[in-house]
Structure 1
Amino acid sequence: MRFELTTDQQDFAASLESLLAAADPVAVARAWAEGDHAPGLRLWQRLADQGVSALLVPEDADGMGATPVELVVAFEALGRHAVPGPWVEAAAYLATELSGEARAAVAAGTVVTVAVPPHTPYALDADVAQTVYLAGSDGVRTATAGEPRASVDRTRRLFPLTPGPVHDTADRAQEAFDLAVLATSAQLLGAGERVLADAVTYVKQRRQFGREIGSYQAIKHQLADVRIALDFARPLVFGAALDPTPRSVSAAKVACADAAYLASRTGLQVHGAIGYTQEFDLSIWITRIRALVTAWGTPAFHRARILETLRTS
């Protein structure tokens, strides 16, 4: 079976790529990490105007939103450009789990975030969200954020929450969680692709002992291993988008986490000492990948969930 995007999906991907390439997302991410959220919020609204925040929200009560394939297309682009903000929380989880006016607000581009213990115990970027939610067995509650916790990714600020009253929901918690996992997988895939592309560009420019380091077989093999890992992960992501079952989205998350982490380690190794510095752009994707590997369920959790579904099928 071949997974190919439709013409409309390809046009959507091209429009996002054009928007993000012109938005200087690296500068946006650096400003976000320093606490200057204005550029990131402007980019948020521009992406919302492109329909990213409304992908899973139907236009009317009897209609259907976009398919998860469009979600994957969008979030791969967000990962490739390291766009900051609680996009998974808003456009994947809350766009699915909320109902009524709250869901319409998400579709319109309102910045919201959520914590879903135990796999997502903290709310991402609660300091910039207009509404903060806490999901639990009794539904979704509005919540108040506490003091932020540090993350390995400086663009991610994590907040513990104090629950408030129960909010009306669409009662689709499992579906919402799986779509958030799928969106995170797509972000990892996009980030891994960006690190690989930057690493390939660098090894063609960096010279050592009179020749480009990319001409050495050992480096070629390392980069080829990353290429293979990403190529094997991609069909799992789009397969899960066509049929987002717990098994398929967990398989996609495991594969994308492994591939992106391999890309980050290889990219860091071929760049050498410069790759460790915050001033070098590569660090934005390396730390983002490290944070996303365990976001919305650790690899151990998703491997266990795959095993459980195989046992019971």
Structure 2
Amino acid sequence: MDHDTREMLLDTAGRFFAERCGKDIVNGVEKGVWPIDFWKEIEEMGLPLTAVPEDKGGVGGTLADLMAVLRLAGENAVPVPLAETALANLLMAAAGGTPAPGPATIVLGNLTFDNGRLTGKVDRVPFASVAGRFVAAAKSGGKPVVVVVAKANATVTVTPSHAGEPYGTVAFDKAACEFSGASAVSAERALELAALARAMQMAGAADKVLATTVEYSKQRVQFGRSISTFQAIQHMLAELASCVAATIASAEAASRDADEGGLADGGSFSIAAAKTQASDFAQRICAISHQSMGAMGFTHEHILHHYTRRLWVWRRDFGSESFWGEKIGAAVAKAGPQALWPSLTSSKYAA
């Protein structure tokens, strides 16, 4: 996708999310109301097909184009499986399949695929109860394979996330598949792409938290002046801005490196660093914003919780800071002390 087309896509998507994804939709999903019209509009815009090649019915954008859209989705607390469906469609296309309409989600975990049947159980699958199909990354004969299973052939136990979104446990018991195909994208790589998507969503949400907190501090008057003039608040806002800036910078760098390296490989170190950074700073970002806004920030009527609760949930999705930090540490330790600095400056895993 060329620069002008990408800018038009992001401008259109940004305005659409800002205008259509209001409090009623976000709060409605938490109450179990599926925003069917909102989802239809998302599909009509082609957003779940952003990174799918045109010959597969997609928009033909790059991985970086998709990640930029997901950052906007995070910035607007979009409460539907756009990220999950877009990644599911991308994985299907990479395995030679053609994406189908409707919401989908990705299932990444300890799964086995044998004789055309999928077996295994995965906890905390995002939007498990509203997905019409599950797209899993598994192995068959020791080689990567993408498997698509219809909702009717899976057992779903719904456990809403702390953000109120319909997460759940998905179990497959020799489930028949709608599609399966060999893929250059391994299960490990699929997890990296999912972590990158979450890092970008977290970057968007963190940016919105900062903007919301700063605006509140300017408007809130105490002792005859805006609380943003108090030194203690200024120090808190400065720390908040630093955490948000680091979250955004690391996510954007990972998106760039992954895009340049290719779908099947590339940017692994950057992705691990970005998810570690985003997850680690999520708690601090949420704590400072709520502390700065006081009681108002804790009310359900205010929008702040739409973002802070998602940051808390996304922090664990597809690997927490401990999970990815351990991978970084293991890779660097394996390479030895002489490779430490080159591995950091080259943005690649030490080999």
TM-score bin, normalised by smaller chain: 0.7 to 0.9
Q: Is 1:149 aligned with 2:151?
A: no
Aligned to 1:130: 132
What is the aligned counterpart of 2:308 among 261, 269, 286? 286
- What's the secondary structure of 1:13's corresponding residue? helix
Alignment-derived partner of residue 180 in structure 2:
168
* Aligned residue number for residue 8 of structure 1: 5
| CA distance 1:191–1:7, shift in 2 (3 Å) | same
Cα deviation digits, residues 262-281 of structure 1 (max 9, x gap): 22211111111232232322
| CA apart distance, 1:178 | 1.8
The question of 1:188 aligning with 2:202 is answered yes
The one-letter code sitting in structure 2 at the alignment partner of 1:289 is: L
- Distance in 1, Cα, partners of 2:288 & 2:20: 28
Structure 1 CA distance for aligned equivalents of residues 198 and 136 of structure 2:
19
CA distance in 2, matches of 1:147, 1:161: 8
Displacement of 1:217 after TM fit?
A: 1.1
Opposite residue 169 of structure 1, the aligned amino acid is G
Tell me the residue number matched to 1:249. 271
Whole-angstrom distance in 2 between the partners of 1:85 and 1:69: 20
Greater shift in the superposed pair: 130-139 or 181-190: 130-139
The 8 Å contact of residues 84 and 156 in structure 1, kept in 2 or not, is answered as no
Structure 2 Cα separation of the partners of residues 88 and 182 of structure 1: 10
2:77 counterpart (79, 82, 99): 82
Which runs of at least 4 in structure 1 moved beyond 4 Å after TM superposition? Answer: 99-103
1:111 aligns with one of 103, 124, 127: 103
Residues 1:218 and 2:210 are matched in the alignment: no
How far apart are the structure 2 equivalents of 1:25 and 1:98?
31
**Residues 25 and 169 (structure 1 numbering): CA distance in 2 closer, same or farther, change over 3 Å?**
farther
| Structure 1 unaligned spans of 5+ | none
Relative to structure 1, the CA distance from residue 165 to residue 104 in structure 2 (aligned partners, 3 Å threshold; closer, same or farther) is: same
Does residue 231 in structure 1 map to residue 229 in structure 2?
Answer: no
- Distance in 2, matches of 1:162 and 1:141, equals 11
Match of 1:304 in 2: 326
Q: How many residues align?
A: 303
Moved more, 112-121 or 179-188: 112-121
Structure (1/2) with the larger strand percentage: 2
Q: What amino acid is the match of 1:96? A: L
Q: Does 1:67 align with 2:62?
A: yes
Q: Secondary structure at the match of 1:42?
A: helix
Q: CA deviation at 1:182?
A: 1.0
Structure 2 unmatched ranges of 5 or more: 111-120, 259-266, 336-349
Q: Which residue of 1 aligns with 2:89?
A: 95
Note the C-alpha offset of 1:91. 0.7
Task: Determine if contact 2:75/2:204 at 8 Å carries over to the other structure.
Answer: yes
TM-score by length of 1: 0.87
- Over the matched positions of the two proteins, sequence identity in percent amounts to 24
RMSD: 2.6
Q: What do residues 49-98 of structure 1 show as CA deviations (whole Å, max 9, x unaligned)? A: 3232112211126x994222212210111101000122232212x22322
Distance 1:33 1:177 in 2: 26
Instruction: Return the TM-score normalized by structure 2.
Output: 0.78
Do the aligned partners of residues 100 and 289 (structure 1) sit closer, same or farther apart at CA in structure 2, a change above 3 Å counting? closer
